C-alpha cells in the first residue's frame, strides 16, 4: 500500500505528457475489446469442460440405453458375465470395487495421515520434510502398469508366505478362508493403497498446515504438551480436511484400472476372503472392451455408468466436506 500511495502523489502534481503513468490513461478500445474477448474465451472454455463431460455421459448413456432396458436393475444384483448367452450382471464387480477401495483406504488413510503429521508438525528438518513430500508426490507419477507388474513380480511372492500361514492357522476367520493362489483382493488392495497414498498425504498435509499457528501457540501457552496439541487441537481442527482427503483418495481408488486388472484376479466372484480373486468395475471394462460385440458393449457401458455414478457420489461428498471445513477454518484465521 505504501508503494501505491507514493506513486499516486508523484503522478498528482506533474501532469506533463512524459511523466504520466500509462495506467492512468483510460483503456484503449483494443484493450477493452481484448478484455471482453478474453472474458468470453474463458467462459467458453469453462462451458466447454462442462459440455465435454455432458457429452461423455450422454454417449455412455446412449450406448447403455438398450442394456438398461434389457437388464434393468437385475444387472446390479446378479454376478454372471457371459457374453455367449448375453447374460450380464455386475454385483461381484460392484462389491469387489468397494471392497478393494475400502481396504486400500484403510491402509493408505492410516499411513497417509501419519506421514502428513510428520511432514506438517515440525518433527523433521525442513529439508527432509521437503524431500519426503516430493518423494511421496512422485509416487503419483509412476504409471499404473508399472505398479501392476511390481505387484505381480514382487508383492505377490512376498505376501504368499504370510497369507499361506494365516490361512493354515486362522482359516476359520472369514477373511483368511481361502488360499492365496496369486492375484487376489489383498495384493490388489495393497497396490491400490500405495497408489492413493500421494492424494491422501498431500491433501491432509495441507489441511494440517492450514490450522492457524496461534491455536497451537495458545494451547502451548496453557501448558499442553506436543502430543496434546496434535491430538486435541491440530487433528480435530483439520479433521474435515483429512476426511476430504480420504474421500478423494477413495474416489481415485474406485476408478483405478490397469494395476487392478493385472492384480485382482478377474474372477466374477465375491467373497470376504482377502486371498480370493475378485473383480472390479474398471478392470472389467478394461478387460472386456477391446473384444466386445455390440450387446456386450451395451452392458459394459451400463457398468461404466454405474462406476461413474459411484465415483461421482464419492467425489461430490469429498468436495462438499472440503468446502465446509475450509469455510470453518476461515473464521478461525
Sole window of 210-218, 262-270, 302-310, 313-321 interacting with another protein (rule: CB under 8 A): 262-270
Please answer whether residues 171 and 281 qualify as being in contact, where contact means their C-beta atoms are separated by less than 8 angstroms: no
Residue in 126, 291, 331, 333 binding another protein, rule: CB under 8 A? 291
Which one-letter DSSP state was computed for residue 88?
A: E
Residue in 60, 107, 140, 152 binding another protein, rule: CB under 8 A? 152
Q: What is the spatial distance between Cα 238 and Cα 246, in angstroms, rounded to a whole number?
A: 12
Q: Give the closest residue to 22 by CA, choosing from 14, 9, 11, 38.
A: 11
Question: What count of other Cβ atoms lies within 10 Å of the Cβ of residue 26?
Answer: 7
Q: Which is nearer to another protein, 15 or 125 (CB)?
A: 15
Residue in 268, 273, 311, 325 binding another protein, rule: CB under 8 A? 268
Please answer whether residues 275 and 176 qualify as being in contact, where contact means their C-beta atoms are separated by less than 8 angstroms: yes
Could you tell me the smallest distance in angstroms from the CB atom of residue 175 to another protein?
A: 18
Q: What is the spatial distance between Cα 126 and Cα 104, in angstroms, rounded to a whole number?
A: 29
Residues near another protein (CB under 8 A), total: 40
Could you tell me the smallest distance in angstroms from the CB atom of residue 83 to another protein?
A: 6
Could you tell me the smallest distance in angstroms from the CB atom of residue 238 to another protein?
A: 32
Please answer whether residues 210 and 238 qualify as being in contact, where contact means their C-beta atoms are separated by less than 8 angstroms: yes
The contact pattern for another protein, residues 80-99, with x = CB under 8 A and - = no contact, is xxxxxx--------------
Please answer whether residues 253 and 104 qualify as being in contact, where contact means their C-beta atoms are separated by less than 8 angstroms: yes
Please give the residues from 200 up to 259 whose contact with another protein meets the rule CB under 8 A. Answer: none
Could you tell me the smallest distance in angstroms from the CB atom of residue 49 to another protein?
A: 18
Beta-bridge mates of residue 87:
82
- Assign residue 25 a region (left: φ > 0; alpha: ψ between -120 and 50; beta: otherwise): beta
Residues making up the chain, counted from first to last: 333
Please give the residues from 292 up to 331 whose contact with another protein meets the rule CB under 8 A. Answer: 292-293
Q: Which is nearer to another protein, 37 or 212 (CB)?
A: 37
Site for another protein, rule CB under 8 A: 3-4, 7-8, 21, 23, 31, 34-35, 38, 41, 80-85, 152-153, 156-157, 179, 181-184, 261-262, 265-268, 277, 283, 287-288, 290-293
Amino acid at each position: 500500500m505504501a508503494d501505491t500511495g507514493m506513486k499516486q502523489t508523484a503522478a498528482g502534481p506533474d501532469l506533463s505528457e512524459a511523466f504520466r503513468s500509462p495506467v492512468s490513461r483510460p483503456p484503449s478500445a483494443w484493450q477493452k475489446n481484448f478484455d471482453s474477448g478474453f472474458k468470453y474465451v474463458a467462459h467458453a472454455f469453462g462451458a466447454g469442460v462442462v459440455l465435454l463431460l455432458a457429452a461423455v455421459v450422454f454417449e455412455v448413456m446412449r450406448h447403455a440405453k438398450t442394456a438398461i432396458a434389457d437388464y434393468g436393475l437385475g444387472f446390479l444384483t446378479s454376478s454372471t458375465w457371459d457374453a455367449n448367452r448375453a447374460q450380464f450382471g455386475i454385483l461381484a464387480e460392484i462389491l469387489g470395487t468397494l471392497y478393494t477401495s475400502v481396504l486400500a483406504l484403510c491402509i493408505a488413510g492410516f499411513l497417509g495421515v501419519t506421514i502428513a503429521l510428520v511432514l506438517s508438525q515440525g518433527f523433521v528438518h525442513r529439508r527432509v520434510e521437503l524431500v519426503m513430500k516430493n518423494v511421496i508426490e512422485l509416487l503419483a507419477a509412476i504409471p499404473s502398469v508399472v505398479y501392476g507388474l511390481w505387484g505381480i513380480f514382487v508383492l505377490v511372492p512376498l505376501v504368499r508366505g504370510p497369507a499361506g500361514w494365516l490361512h493354515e492357522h486362522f482359516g476359520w476367520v472369514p477373511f483368511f478362508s481361502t488360499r492365496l493362489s496369486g492375484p487376489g483382493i489383498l495384493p490388489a488392495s495393497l497396490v491400490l493403497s500405495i497408489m492413493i497414498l500421494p492424494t491422501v498425504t498431500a491433501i491432509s498435509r495441507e489441511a494440517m498446515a492450514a490450522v492457524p499457528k496461534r491455536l497451537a501457540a495458545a494451547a502451548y501457552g496453557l501448558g499442553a504438551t506436543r502430543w496434546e496439541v496434535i491430538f486435541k487441537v491440530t487433528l480435530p481442527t483439520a479433521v474435515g480436511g483429512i476426511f476430504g482427503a480420504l474421500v478423494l483418495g477413495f474416489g481415485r481408488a474406485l476408478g483405478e484400472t490397469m494395476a487392478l486388472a493385472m492384480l485382482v484376479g478377474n474372477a466374477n466372484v465375491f467373497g470376504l476372503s482377502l486371498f480370493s480373486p475378485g473383480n472390479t468395475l474398471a478392470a472389467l471394462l478394461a478387460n472386456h472392451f477391446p473384444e466386445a460385440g455390440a450387446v456386450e458393449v451395451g452392458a459394459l457401458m451400463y457398468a461404466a455408468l454405474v462406476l461413474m455414478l459411484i465415483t461421482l457420489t464419492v467425489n461430490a461428498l469429498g468436495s462438499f466436506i472440503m468446502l465446509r471445513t475450509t469455510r470453518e477454518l476461515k473464521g478461525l484465521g
